[in-house]
């Protein structure tokens, strides 16, 4: 069920009153608050169990509002905004005075994006201000791509959930830092590196570590409960067999090259051959294997080009070492 116009009005009222609204975007669902209300922003961190030093993204209604929220917009940022907004691109720029430090985790930069979803757009228009929103999951776990996922993740910690159906893109936005001399990708996402390079007319760096602390870069982010093990596609069947012999409830991401092959796993997901379909389904697949009681998920990485770069990034982090914090 997609949100009605009275749902949108109600959600805008919740934001004005300092409450939290879960909103659909084209990437994943966000947990939104009035970006200019430090108390409401603090509630986001509490609801997610996220350390307050981790910066949030401010969602705005259109590129023409950019100067209301940031200082010194460089030409590169305007170019990228003109090409990709509304859409799954987040720009890191110098913080404007309207943005409280609570929303940026104390940083003098701010991440901004214009989401490409009719419900998010309607909410931003009805509310009139900026909505700061991280993904609407508990800190470290899998991002929600349906309204039901949000309810499972956050329960009563969210005041109102706007349902906008399943998310089209399925992985988070691409974050590009445009505060330096050359733009650099802090997190691969829904806008591909190739698309950025086509617009910028040159190579774009995707550093593996950034000088800014980015919680999405924490090794064990985007993790299901089950342990995720990454193997070469040609080794998937052998790995499933040995994990099963060890007594695991094995879930498997069956690569397209093995489509139709019978596997003796506890639960199997057929990985779509199209990267767009894979990205759209990725978090749902992880959730499904968790729900079906798997304690181990065997997957392999797709080619790291196009959306494959973001998918591989999320799978690596899902497979990363876990701290007690994420247990």
Pairwise CA distance, residues 213 & 27, whole Å: 22
Interface residue with ligand TXA among 60, 70, 87, 90 (CB under 6 A) is 90
Q: Which residues of 153-168 are buried (b: 16+ CB within 10 A; e: fewer)?
A: bbeebbbbbbbbebbb
Q: Which stretch binds ligand TXA (CB under 6 A): 74-82, 109-117, 269-277, 305-313?
A: 109-117
Q: Closest CB to Mg ion among 252 and 279?
A: 279
Distance between CA 311 and CA 189 in Å, rounded? Answer: 8
Chosen residue from 107, 236, 279, 319 binding ligand TXA by CB under 6 A: 107
- The listed partner (ligand TXA, Mg ion, none) that binds 132, CB under 5 to 8 Å by sort, is none
CA 112 to chain CA centroid, Å, is 14
Joined tokens for residue 315? 């799978």
Q: Which of Mg ion, ligand TXA, none is residue 141 near (CB under 5 to 8 Å by kind)?
A: none
- Number of residues near Mg ion (by CB under 5 A): 1
Query: Per-residue contact track with ligand TXA, 40 to 79, x per CB under 6 A?
Result: --------------xxxx----------------------
User: In whole angstroms, how far apart are CA 100 and each of 41, 45, 209, 249, 312?
Assistant: 9, 14, 26, 46, 34
What is the residue-wise DSSP string for 98-131?
TS-TTTTTT-SEEEEE----HHHHHHHHHH-S-E
In whole angstroms, the minimum distance from the beta carbon of 101 to ligand TXA comes to: 11
Q: What is the CA radius of gyration of the chain?
A: 19
Considering only residues 110-149, where is the footprint of ligand TXA by CB under 6 A? 110-111, 115, 133-135
Residues 129-188 that bind Mg ion (CB under 5 A): 135
Number of residues that bind ligand TXA (CB under 6 A): 29
Q: 98 with 36: CB under 8 angstroms?
A: yes
CB of 34 vs Mg ion, minimal distance in Å: 19
Asked if 21 and 136 touch (Cβ cutoff 8 Å), the reply is no
d(CA 151, CA 243): 32
As a whole number of angstroms, the distance between CA 142 and CA 225 comes to 9
- Least distance CB 179 / ligand TXA (angstroms): 8
3-state secondary structure 242-272: HHHHCCCCEEEEECHHHCCCCCCCCEEEECC
- Compute the distance between CA of residue 240 and CA of residue 264 in angstroms, rounded to an integer: 8
| CA nearest to 61, candidates 97, 3, 2, 112 | 112
Convert residues 160-179 into a mask of x (bound to ligand TXA by CB under 6 A) and - (unbound).
Answer: ------------xx-x----
Interface residue with ligand TXA among 7, 20, 30, 240 (CB under 6 A) is 30
Nearer to ligand TXA, 191 or 254 (CB): 191
Distance of closest approach, residue 234 Cβ to ligand TXA, in angstroms: 33
Cβ proximity to Mg ion: between 135 and 192 the closer is: 135
Binding status of residue 186 toward ligand TXA by CB under 6 A: yes
With respect to ligand TXA, which residue has the nearer C-beta, 88 or 302? 88
Instruction: Tell me how far CA of residue 295 lies from CA of 113, 186, 292, 315, in angstroms.
Output: 36, 31, 9, 16
Cβ 134 to Mg ion shortest distance, Å? 5
Kindly list the residues in this chain that would bind ligand TXA in the complex (CB under 6 A).
25, 27-28, 30, 54-57, 88, 90, 92, 104, 107, 109-111, 115, 133-135, 172-173, 175, 186-187, 212, 214-216
Residues that bind Mg ion (CB under 5 A): 135
């Amino acid at each position: 069920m997609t949100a009605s116009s009275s749902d949108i009005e109600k959600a805008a009222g919740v934001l004005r009153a300092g409450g939290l609204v879960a909103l659909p975007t084209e990437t994943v669902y966000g947990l939104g608050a009035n970006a200019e209300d430090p108390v409401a922003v603090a509630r986001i961190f509490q609801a997610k169990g996220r350390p307050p030093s981790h910066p949030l993204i401010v969602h705005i209604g259109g590129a023409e509002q950019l100067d209301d929220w940031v200082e010194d917009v460089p030409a590169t940022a305007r170019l990228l905004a003109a090409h990709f907004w509304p859409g799954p691109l987040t720009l890191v720029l110098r913080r404007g005075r309207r943005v409280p430090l609570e929303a940026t985790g104390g940083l003098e930069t701010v991440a901004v994006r214009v989401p490409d979803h009719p419900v998010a757009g309607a909410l931003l228009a009805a509310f009139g201000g900026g909505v700061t929103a991280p993904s609407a999951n508990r800190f470290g776990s899998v991002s929600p791509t349906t309204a039901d996922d949000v309810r499972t993740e956050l329960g009563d910690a969210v005041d109102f959930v706007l349902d906008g159906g399943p998310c089209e893109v399925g992985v988070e936005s691409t974050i590009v830092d445009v505060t330096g001399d050359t733009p650099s990708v802090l997190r691969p996402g829904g806008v591909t590196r190739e698309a950025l390079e086509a617009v910028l007319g040159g190579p774009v760096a995707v550093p593996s570590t950034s000088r800014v602390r980015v919680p999405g870069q924490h090794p064990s982010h985007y993790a299901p409960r089950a342990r995720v093990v990454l193997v070469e596609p040609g080794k998937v069947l052998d790995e499933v067999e040995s994990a099963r012999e060890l007594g695991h409830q094995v879930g498997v991401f069956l690569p397209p090259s093995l489509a139709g092959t019978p596997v003796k796993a506890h639960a199997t997901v057929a990985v779509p051959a199209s990267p767009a379909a894979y990205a759209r389904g990725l978090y749902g697949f992880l959730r499904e294997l968790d729900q079906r009681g798997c304690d181990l998920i065997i997957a392999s990485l797709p080619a790291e080009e196009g959306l494959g770069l973001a998918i591989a990034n999320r799978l690596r982090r899902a497979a990363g070492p876990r701290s007690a914090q994420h247990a």
